[in-house]
Amino acid sequence: MISEIRIRNFKSIEDLTFKPGRVTVLIGENGSGKSNILESIAFAAAASADKLDKEFLVSRGIRVAEYTWMKSAFPPAESCSGAEESRDIIQLSVTGEDGEPPFQCSVAPSVSKVDGSFEEWIVRTPIKEADLEEALRVVDEELKPLSTQVSGATGKIDQEALRRSVAAVQLGLSKYRWLNNRAKRLGVVDYLIYAPENTVLRTPPPDATIEPLGARGEGLFKLLQAFGDAKFTKQLADLKDSLHLFGWFDDFLPPDDVATAQARLQIRDRWLAPERAVFDQRSANEGFLYTLFYLTAITSWRTPKFFAIDNVDTALNPKLCSALMRKIVELAKKYDKQVICTTHNPAILDGLNIHDDEQRLLTVQRDSEGRTTVNRVRPPKAQPGKVPMKLSAAFVAGNIGGLPDYF
């Protein structure tokens, strides 16, 4: 599981470090940088796969802007030498709990020397001394046969120059493999930001869309088809049990193995007459479809181990928000997922138990110079004879931050 994330020079973030839990909730006023935090991790995931084209970034849930707006635009501190050059580089570091070196990468824009237009993002990775030594060792082994064949004054070659040239090529070829392997072990490489849309959930797009589950809801019904396999009885049972958060819900049947565009989710309402009790996703309420999506993402064996949900409260009743959050925590622990959520609904907070270190609440705000910062909300000290204030009430009262303070 990921224990620390550091972001530098991405959108409204100049230099930010935070420690996520198994389930982390971000709160803050509009424009404070919550989504920028989620997007920076997705940017790192794309860099680890060397896929930084606009289409791929959008598919991971990133709001792609002109390159000058993807990196921070704050004026450099007077004390920083070479600040302008360093501010062109987006830097990301993700640390796990395994004691291994963190996944690190730097991404810089390549700009045309002719007209200054953006060409592409270039990924850089720190080359450690140990990596260089290993590359040189391999090169030495490869050069042994060659050195015995070369003799005479005219046949000599610059062994040291050749060694280092071959080593540089080898390191260049292995750069993305190194990045990708670290990202895979940490669960970063498949990370994306889920922000499902009502129209996508109601009308499945063609089979050619992103699998297993797209950021806007693509692939949900095809993924649910797999839940019908006898091997995944436990996951299907957990999914159905969780959907009893809705008082009217009785049961559902995963779509048949047909083309996704024709797939129908058969949902049963326990209060309707038997002959009219079954309906499909086109008639389901919006909150049910969003909840189904989130729970499927957490219980599925095919979805990322680490992902984000932007605006997890969309279309949900306040009491349902709290219950859903508790369910997300329960299932994330059971299925070994790590989730970051953003919200504006105070009721989401009442589904968290911040006395549990795996559940963390962070307030996101802009400092006096506009830079995105993060503070962790710690559990309040118990007061004898007093009932602790709910997190939702503390949020609304302004006791834990995350609210505008200028009106």
Domain that holds residue 139: 129-184
Decide if 155 is inside a domain. yes
- Rounded Cα distance between 79 and 383, Å, is 46
Q: What is the pLDDT of residues 3-62, one digit of tens each?
A: 999 999 999 999 999 999 999 999 999 999 999 999 999 999 998 888 899 999 999 999
- 110: tokens are 């390549």
138: in domain: yes
- The secondary structure of residue 76, as a DSSP letter, is P
Answer yes or no: is 175 within a domain: yes
Q: Is residue 164 situated within a structural domain?
A: yes
Tell me the sheet residues that pair with 13: 10
DSSP letters spanning 308-324: EESSTTTT--HHHHHHH
Say how far apart CA 172 and CA 140 lie, in whole Å: 18
Cα Rg of the chain (Å, integer):
25
Asked if residue 161 belongs to a domain, the reply is: yes
∠ CA(188), CA(189), CA(194), 5° rounding?
75
Q: How many domains is the chain built from?
A: 1
Instruction: Give one DSSP letter per residue of 180-204, joined into a string.
Output: HHHHHHHT-TT--EE---HHHHHSP
Query: Residue 82's pLDDT is what?
Result: 47
pLDDT at 54: 92
> Mean pLDDT of residues grouped by 10 in the chain (407 residues)?
94 96 97 96 89 92 92 70 66 86 87 90 70 59 56 55 61 56 82 94 70 89 85 92 96 72 82 88 94 96 95 96 98 97 97 97 95 94 82 94 88
Neighbour tally for 299: CB within 10 Å:
22
* 76 domain residue, yes or no: no
Q: Count the Cβ atoms, other than its own, within 10 Å of residue 273.
A: 7
* E strands in 328-383: 338-342, 359-366, 372-376
What are the angstrom distances between the C-alpha of 326 and each of 129, 230, 235, 358?
46, 28, 18, 12
pLDDT at res. 151: 47
Residue 223 lies in a domain: no
pTM: 0.85
- Ranges of H-type helices in 187-307: 198-202, 220-226, 233-242, 286-299
In this structure, the number of other CB atoms found within 10 A of the CB of residue 304 comes to 21
Please indicate, yes or no, if residue 297 is contained in any of the structural domains. no
Instruction: Please write the tens of the pLDDT for every residue from 10-21.
Output: 999 999 999 999
Q: What is the pLDDT of residue 79?
A: 44
